[in-house]
């Protein structure tokens, strides 16, 4: 793998292993290597909070003063990516996708799991076109996602119309235009009925989504278990104050490093890949302990993917990472 950019100076790494371990003190430039890969492969960089930043005006400050920001990553086989480009960025970071689901709302987690889990079984929904929706998607779980998204979209759209109509109605009443008032009141009543019927349908859809996912969680936890680093407990989905959270058996709130390990395991079993692999794993710099760091690296080295980049201020212990194809980059 080749990495070249002018992020925070000059990055020029040639013929590197696709499994990179970037080591250095805080402020030494570890993130410059990770950002170079992110920018070229994904079209954006992750900030300290894990948010994906893509606006050119925001990422441009990463370049030295007076220079236009640029980044390039090349892989074996001639596959390469640049920033900036007008072409589609073709790689994905599975860890970022899983982390977004884990740190978002329960509804976001439900949608994520329904889109990406393997399990499927029959669901009956009191909706006239339900069978057609299922046929179009091929699975009940993804049909539920469409219904959820469509209901939400419809509710938002009609609520916006109601706000607009309320303003117009206020103006008409002030001007005494009775004929127009009556017609608008009829439209408002019909729109309110549409919102209410979609809210009721949405409640039914959510009930099915909750039930579907809850029934599939034990199998999903078992699939994740082989990818949990040694020394950590078994993964466990739990309901905490009405929110679905991923943690450990008896300990539903994981630490920052444990959150990374859980997100890795979740992504492995839920984020689909292709035969020519579009997965590039970028792990954030966290307060790893040496043993846990080595165990996480051991899990990642066993994956079929295009590349993995890990950054840390410490070196792993109990895992001779360079013997297993990792390349050490000191910054």
| Domain end among 180, 199, 216 | 216
Q: Are strands 307-312 and 280-283 parallel, antiparallel or unpaired?
A: parallel
Is residue 315 assigned to a domain?
yes
Rounded mean pLDDT, 186-212 = 96
Is residue 38 assigned to a domain?
yes
pLDDT at 49: 46
Is residue 55 assigned to a domain?
yes
The CATH number given to whatever domain includes residue 59 is 3.40.50
| Domain end among 216, 236, 251 | 216
- Both 144 and 184 in one domain: the answer is yes
Distances in Å between the Cα of 156 and the Cα atoms of 23, 133, 192, 194, 294 are: 47, 21, 12, 11, 47
Is residue 103 assigned to a domain?
no
| Domain end among 175, 196, 216 | 216
**Which has the minimum average pLDDT: 41-45, 214-218, 287-291, 311-315?**
41-45
Between 180 and 73, where is the model more confident? 73
Tell me whether the omega of the peptide bond preceding residue 96 falls within 30 degrees of 0, making it cis: no
Question: How confident is residue 57, by pLDDT bands cut at 50, 70 and 90?
Answer: low
What mean pLDDT value characterizes the chain? Answer: 91
In the chain, the number of structural domains is 2
Owning domain of residue 163: 113-216
Is residue 238 assigned to a domain?
no
pLDDT at 264: 97
Is residue 238 over pLDDT 70? yes
Between 275 and 119, where is the model more confident? 119
Is residue 50 over pLDDT 80? no
Rounded mean pLDDT, 38-46 = 89
Is residue 45 assigned to a domain?
yes
Rounded mean pLDDT, 97-114 = 95
Rounded mean pLDDT, 157-173 = 93
- Both 64 and 125 in one domain: the answer is no
Between 273 and 225, where is the model more confident? 225
Distances in Å between the Cα of 98 and the Cα atoms of 112, 211, 268, 284 are: 8, 21, 9, 14
**Which has the minimum average pLDDT: 59-63, 135-139, 156-160?**
59-63
pLDDT at 8: 87
- Both 73 and 128 in one domain: the answer is no
Q: Note if the pTM is more than 0.75.
A: yes
Sign for the CA dihedral angle at 23, 27, 33, 37 comes to positive
| DSSP H helices in the chain | 30-42, 56-59, 94-103, 106-116, 130-137, 140-175, 178-224, 256-270, 290-301
- Both 83 and 1 in one domain: the answer is yes
């Amino acid at each position: 793998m080749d990495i070249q950019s002018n992020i925070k100076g000059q990055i020029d790494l040639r013929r590197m292993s696709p499994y990179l371990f970037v080591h250095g003190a805080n402020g030494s430039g570890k993130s410059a290597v990770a950002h170079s890969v992110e920018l070229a492969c994904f079209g954006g960089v992750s900030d300290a909070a894990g948010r994906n930043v893509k606006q050119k005006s925001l990422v441009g400050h990463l370049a030295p003063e007076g220079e236009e920001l640029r980044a390039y990553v090349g892989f074996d086989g001639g596959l390469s990516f640049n920033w900036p480009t007008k072409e589609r960025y073709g790689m994905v970071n599975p860890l970022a996708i899983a982390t977004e689901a884990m740190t978002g709302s329960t509804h976001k987690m439900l949608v994520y799991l329904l889109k990406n889990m393997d399990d499927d079984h029959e669901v009956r929904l009191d909706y006239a076109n339900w069978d057609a929706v299922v046929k179009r998607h091929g699975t009940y779980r993804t049909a539920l996602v469409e219904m959820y998204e469509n209901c939400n979209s419809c509710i938002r759209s009609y609520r916006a119309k109601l706000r607009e109509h309320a303003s117009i109605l206020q103006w008409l009443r002030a001007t005494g235009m009775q004929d127009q008032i009556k017609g608008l009141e009829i439209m408002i009543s019909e729109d309110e009925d549409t919102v209410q019927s979609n809210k009721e349908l949405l409640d039914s859809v959510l009930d099915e989504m909750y039930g579907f996912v809850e029934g599939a969680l034990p199998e999903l936890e078992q699939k994740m278990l082989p990818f949990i680093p040694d020394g950590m407990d078994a993964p466990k989905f739990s309901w905490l104050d009405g929110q679905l959270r991923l943690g450990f058996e008896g300990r539903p709130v994981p630490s920052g490093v444990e959150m990374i390990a859980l997100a890795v395991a979740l992504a492995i079993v839920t984020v689909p890949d292709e035969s020519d692999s579009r997965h590039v794993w970028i792990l954030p710099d966290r307060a790893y302990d040496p043993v846990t760091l080595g165990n996480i690296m051991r899990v990642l080295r066993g994956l079929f993917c295009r590349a993995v980049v890990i950054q840390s201020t410490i070196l792993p212990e109990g895992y001779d990472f360079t013997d297993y194809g990792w390349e050490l980059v000191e910054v």
